[in-house]
Amino acid sequence: MLTTKEICVSLRNTGRTLTEIMKETGLAKTTIYYHITDIPLPEDVKARIRRDRIKRFGENIAKNRKGKCMPGRAPVLKPNKWSKGLIFLVAHFMFDGQVPNSGCVYNNRSKALVDQVEVTMKQVFNLEPRHYFDKGSGVYRIGFYYVELAIYMRKKVIELKKYITTAPVSEKRLFLKVFFDDEGCVSMYNKKRMVRGYQHNLKTLKLVKKLLKEFDIESKIDEKYQEIVISRKENLIKFRDKINFSKGVYINPNRKNSIWKQKLEKREILDKAINSYLT
């Protein structure tokens, strides 16, 4: 009959761990350890133990975090009802922004618009951004990197296109202002005076045209150049008085095809265009 020591040593030589020998023999941990302490485990068994330990550690973290945010990160607020602040943000991410899987990003040369998006995000979602600036292009960028925010925002982009058609007049005006702040410009050449808004999505251009019509502003869509165009003095005046560009939104004077060569607000140029008509 084998002694306790011989049993422990025999099992250890087959690659059994201390815990496994305890389960098989029913012996106390200290007794087994005394007999096998000088017999190392094979390298493949050590590797398996390390893998099992890492796996258990990951499972415990996942279990403890289930339904919770990462330490130091507050949950992302997800408003159920539309507000002007939410419309403002969703529209900006639709036009001069992106919503990748990692979060929401907004780009613009206008520091005023970027700052306004940052302030509104703080008010609506209580989130702070990461800041970037490209000196070469002069573009400011802010990013809000929360996966749950991206999922929510992509859903809201789809919903907004439907909601805005029946929204109050003030919210429709806000949506149009955001569109032209991000995508719009004022053109003055060859006696032509136009407000133009660029957008590769034809459905969005048709939506903008429909909303402008509700403000009695005539426009046309140029599918070739993917833009909506507002022309004629009466329409430009209505656009200025009912929609207009936001204060602090400037043109880029460094563009090669710029006729101004100076920093001007888009609304200033719109006034110049309207005042240039012969009375």
Q: What does the pLDDT read at residue 71?
A: 43
Does 156 share its domain with 198? no
Does 159 share its domain with 178? no
Taking the C-alpha atoms of residue 174 and residue 85, their distance in angstroms, rounded to an integer, is 10
Question: pTM of the entire structure?
Answer: 0.72
Q: What does the pLDDT read at residue 70?
A: 47
Q: Residue 67: which pLDDT band, with cuts at 50, 70 and 90?
A: very low
Mean pLDDT of 28-48: 81
Does 180 share its domain with 154? no
Residue 210 lies in a domain: yes
Residue 89 lies in a domain: yes
Mean pLDDT of 26-44: 81
Q: Residue 13: which pLDDT band, with cuts at 50, 70 and 90?
A: confident
Residue 71 lies in a domain: no
Does 157 share its domain with 179? no
Does 192 share its domain with 110? no
The number of angstroms, rounded, from the C-alpha of 36 to the middle of its chain's C-alpha atoms is 58
Residue 75 lies in a domain: no
pLDDT tens for each residue of 94-152:
999 999 999 999 999 899 999 999 999 999 999 999 999 998 888 999 999 999 999 99
Domain CATH code at residue 218:
3.10.28.10
Does 111 share its domain with 154? yes
Mean pLDDT of 80-93: 96
Does 98 share its domain with 42? no
Residue 178 contacts residue 96 (beta carbons within 8 Å): no
Q: Identify the domain boundary among 20, 35, 65.
A: 65
Q: What does the pLDDT read at residue 279?
A: 56
pLDDT(47) > 90: no
Q: At what angle do helices 84-95 and 169-183 cross, to 10 degrees?
A: 30
Residue 213 lies in a domain: yes
Q: What does the pLDDT read at residue 26?
A: 83
**Domain containing residue 47:** 4-65
Does 204 share its domain with 263? yes
Residue 40 lies in a domain: yes
Residue 169 lies in a domain: no
Q: Residue 68: which pLDDT band, with cuts at 50, 70 and 90?
A: very low
Does 266 share its domain with 206? yes
> Total domain count for the chain?
3
Q: What does the pLDDT read at residue 254?
A: 63
Better-predicted residue by pLDDT, 98 or 190: 98
Q: Identify the domain boundary among 114, 131, 163.
A: 163
Mean pLDDT of 47-66: 65
Q: At what angle do helices 29-36 and 4-13 cross, to 10 degrees?
A: 70
Does 135 share its domain with 189? no
Q: Identify the domain boundary among 125, 142, 163.
A: 163
Does 210 share its domain with 261? yes
Residue 72 lies in a domain: no
Enter the tokens of residue 173.
């005006």
Positive or negative: CA dihedral 49, 53, 59, 60: positive
Q: What does the pLDDT read at residue 123?
A: 96
Q: Residue 257: which pLDDT band, with cuts at 50, 70 and 90?
A: low
The residue with tokens 């996966």 is 147
Q: Put the strands of the sheet holding 220-222 in their side by side order.
A: 184-189, 192-198, 227-231, 220-222
Does 187 share its domain with 244? yes
Q: What does the pLDDT read at residue 75?
A: 65
